[in-house]
């Protein structure tokens, strides 16, 4: 079956570079316009935990492209620190540190082999003549680290190729989570429904018809029944626990209804042409800790309405701030500070002194 919705971008980097309001930025207006404006000027930096999250999504939704976008680190961090300045590339004889520094456009530092045993008079005489910017290498470090040079070179090459590096333990956890999702009976039943097309990690760009603003979203899963004229947006979430009460509380606090039923559903409407009431919304939740229990949670019609309302209220506030060129914080005007009774000490019984 040829999909009717083509991917708008070849790579994730192309999607990230594309203009458009996305939920990752829009959600900061729930805190304050000041935070939203700050995040525009100061985008959040990538972290190992975010890399782990992306790796989990990739293994669960698009495992065929994992090797293209990710690299499992092979050299231990402590070993890296020892290898970088002191071990030579076995093919060229150049120190690995010099190769990396040259690639980054930094001045090279000489690497000089040590003479004599460390602490001996011969070693001290040699050390006295070593330039201050030089890196010294002792044979025992070279012997211990040389077996890891090939692994190190692979890690460094992956960095230069723009891949996300993840540790072996994180990779094992991400793989276990992906396996739990792939083998869950409810997930299989949802994705294997006859007559539907399933899209994974689908980037969508559109212009919001109400606000006239370019928008974008990347849907984890979009299930489309073209004959019925219906679709379902499913977002994969790694969570602490999947009990319904806890999930409902977390979804409200994190604004998942605004993200999925508000922003992502609008993306699905734009790309399918279906009426917004024909777009269902769900969270595919999997626990981050073993045994990685899995659950599917559908938003009720009332929750979908609340999600649309939240998203539209943030878009409205964005438009107002742009028009006024004003980005207020959480408390833009002075307010009275009302302490709870128990904090103010009003619940305490007054002391009564008799005869004193």
Within a domain: residue 250? Answer: yes
Within a domain: residue 275? Answer: yes
pTM: 0.76
The answer to whether residues 159 and 189 belong to one domain is no
Structural domain harbouring 84: 74-166
Strand bridging mode 197-207 / 214-225: antiparallel
The answer to whether residues 10 and 80 belong to one domain is no
The answer to whether residues 28 and 148 belong to one domain is no
The answer to whether residues 107 and 225 belong to one domain is no
Tens of pLDDT along 305-320? 999 999 999 999 999 9
The answer to whether residues 209 and 346 belong to one domain is yes
Within a domain: residue 51? Answer: no
Please provide the average confidence, as pLDDT, over all residues in the chain.
Answer: 83
Within a domain: residue 279? Answer: yes
User: Which pLDDT score, from 0 to 100, does residue 167 have?
Assistant: 87
The whole-number average pLDDT for the span 164-193 is 95
The answer to whether residues 80 and 36 belong to one domain is no
Quickly state the pLDDT bin for 286 (edges 50, 70, 90): very high
What is the rounded distance in angstroms from the CA atom of residue 203 to the CA atom of residue 116? Answer: 61
User: Which pLDDT score, from 0 to 100, does residue 342 have?
Assistant: 65
Within a domain: residue 173? Answer: no
Tens of pLDDT along 343-356? 555 555 555 556 65
The answer to whether residues 280 and 349 belong to one domain is yes
Within a domain: residue 144? Answer: yes
Within a domain: residue 147? Answer: yes
User: Does the pLDDT value for residue 149 go beyond 90?
Assistant: no
User: Which pLDDT score, from 0 to 100, does residue 152 have?
Assistant: 59
The answer to whether residues 159 and 302 belong to one domain is no
CATH number at residue 206: 3.90.320.10
Percent of the chain scored above 70 by pLDDT? 72
Strand bridging mode 230-239 / 294-298: unpaired
User: Does the pLDDT value for residue 293 go beyond 80?
Assistant: yes
User: Which pLDDT score, from 0 to 100, does residue 47 have?
Assistant: 82
Percent of the chain scored above 90 by pLDDT? 59
The answer to whether residues 194 and 309 belong to one domain is yes
Q: Which of 139, 166, 193 is the last residue of a domain?
A: 166
What is the rounded distance in angstroms from the CA atom of residue 84 to the CA atom of residue 135? Answer: 10
Q: Which of 166, 194, 211 is the last residue of a domain?
A: 166
Cβ neighbours of 308 (radius 10 Å): 18
What is the rounded distance in angstroms from the CA atom of residue 208 to the CA atom of residue 260? Answer: 16
3-state secondary structure of 230: strand
The whole-number average pLDDT for the span 217-229 is 97
User: Which pLDDT score, from 0 to 100, does residue 287 have?
Assistant: 97
User: Which pLDDT score, from 0 to 100, does residue 156 have?
Assistant: 64
Quickly state the pLDDT bin for 158 (edges 50, 70, 90): confident
- Number of domains within the chain: 2
The answer to whether residues 234 and 105 belong to one domain is no
Tens of pLDDT along 48-95? 888 899 999 999 999 999 999 998 887 554 444 444 444 444 445 555
The answer to whether residues 233 and 110 belong to one domain is no
Tens of pLDDT along 325-344? 999 999 999 999 988 776 55
Within a domain: residue 176? Answer: no
Q: Which has the closest alpha carbon to 181: 223, 140, 239, 225?
A: 239
Quickly state the pLDDT bin for 145 (edges 50, 70, 90): very low
User: Which pLDDT score, from 0 to 100, does residue 73 have?
Assistant: 81
The answer to whether residues 304 and 228 belong to one domain is yes
What is the rounded distance in angstroms from the CA atom of residue 59 to the CA atom of residue 175? Answer: 6
């Amino acid at each position: 079956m040829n999909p009717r919705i083509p991917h708008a971008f070849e790579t994730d980097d192309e999607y990230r570079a594309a203009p458009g309001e996305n939920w990752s930025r829009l959600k900061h207006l729930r805190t304050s316009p000041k935070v939203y404006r700050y995040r525009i000027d100061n985008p959040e930096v990538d972290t190992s935990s975010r890399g782990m999250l992306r790796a989990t999504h990739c293994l669960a939704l698009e495992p065929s492209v994992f090797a293209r976008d990710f690299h499992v680190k092979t050299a231990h961090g402590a070993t890296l620190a020892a290898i970088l300045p002191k071990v030579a590339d076995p093919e060229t004889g150049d120190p690995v540190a010099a190769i990396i520094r040259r690639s980054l456009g930094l001045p090279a530092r000489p690497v000089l082999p040590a003479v004599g045993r460390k602490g001996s008079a011969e070693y001290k005489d040699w050390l006295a003549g070593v330039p201050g910017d030089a890196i010294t290498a002792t044979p025992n470090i070279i012997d211990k680290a040389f077996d890891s040079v090939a692994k190190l070179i692979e890690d460094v090459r992956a960095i230069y190729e723009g891949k996300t590096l993840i540790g072996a333990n994180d990779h094992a956890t991400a793989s276990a989570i992906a396996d739990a999702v792939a083998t869950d009976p409810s997930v299989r039943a949802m994705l294997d429904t006859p007559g539907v097309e399933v899209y994974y990690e689908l980037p969508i760009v559109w212009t919001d018809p109400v606000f006239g603003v370019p928008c974008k979203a990347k849907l984890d899963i979009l299930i489309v029944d073209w004959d019925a004229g219906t679709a379902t947006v499913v977002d994969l979430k790694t969570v602490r626990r999947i009990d319904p009460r806890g999930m409902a509380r977390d979804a409200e606090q994190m604004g998942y209804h605004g993200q999925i039923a508000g922003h992502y559903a609008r993306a699905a409407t734009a790309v399918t042409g279906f009426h917004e009431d024909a777009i269902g919304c769900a969270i595919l939740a999997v626990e981050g800790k073993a045994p990685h229990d899995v659950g599917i949670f559908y938003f009720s019609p009332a929750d979908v309405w609340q999600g649309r309302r939240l998203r539209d209220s943030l878009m409205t506030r964005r438009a107002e701030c742009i028009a006024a060129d004003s980005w207020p914080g959480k408390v833009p005007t002075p307010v009275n500070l009302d302490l709870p009774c128990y904090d103010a000490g009003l619940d305490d019984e007054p002391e009564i002194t008799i005869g004193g």
